[in-house]
């Protein structure tokens, strides 16, 4: 079976097999990472949806009841829950989520003044979460 083969042929076969094993190993690692990240990204998408629901439910100007406090507490709870989940899976993602990139001086006219700062915080956290979801290779 090996009659007429030169030593270089055997070396080339060995090198090709090593390269094939490296390619298969890289593909297996990529598939494993994909399936590991899938449930994390699904949960982060649910967090994004609940954060956007809070954004849409912001109390409007002129409201003077306890809905202001309730909404602010809901935002605090959402930030805490989301950060706890991120910290469990990635310290870098948690840090990126909590990062403040410099506050905006915009004043959202329809938002009640008492919750305006929390509204800005919610918008910043939603943008940070969106960035984390868009770049899972960096964080997970």
pLDDT in tens, 45-80: 999 999 999 999 999 887 777 888 999 999 999 999
What is the three-class DSSP state of 112?
coil
The per-residue DSSP string of 55-110 comes to HHTPPBTT--STHHHHHHHHHHHHHHHHHHHHHHH-HHHHHHHH----------TT
pLDDT tens figures, 4-25: 778 898 899 999 999 999 999 9
Q: For the residues 119-123, what does the mean pLDDT come to?
A: 93
Predicted TM-score of the model (pTM)? 0.79
């Amino acid at each position: 079976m090996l009659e007429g083969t030169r030593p270089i042929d055997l070396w080339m076969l060995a090198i090709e097999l090593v390269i094939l094993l490296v390619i298969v190993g890289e593909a297996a690692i990529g598939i494993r990472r994909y399936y590991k990240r899938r449930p994390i990204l699904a949960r982060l998408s649910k967090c994004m949806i609940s954060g956007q629901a809070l954004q849409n439910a912001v109390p409007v100007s002129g409201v003077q009841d306890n809905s202001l406090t309730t909404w602010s507490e809901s935002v605090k709870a959402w930030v805490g829950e989301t950060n706890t989940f991120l910290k469990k899976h990635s310290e870098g993602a948690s840090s990126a989520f909590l990062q403040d990139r410099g506050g905006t001086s915009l004043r959202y006219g329809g938002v009640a003044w008492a919750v305006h700062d929390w509204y800005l915080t919610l918008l910043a956290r939603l943008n940070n979460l969106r960035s984390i979801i868009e770049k899972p290779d960096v964080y997970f």
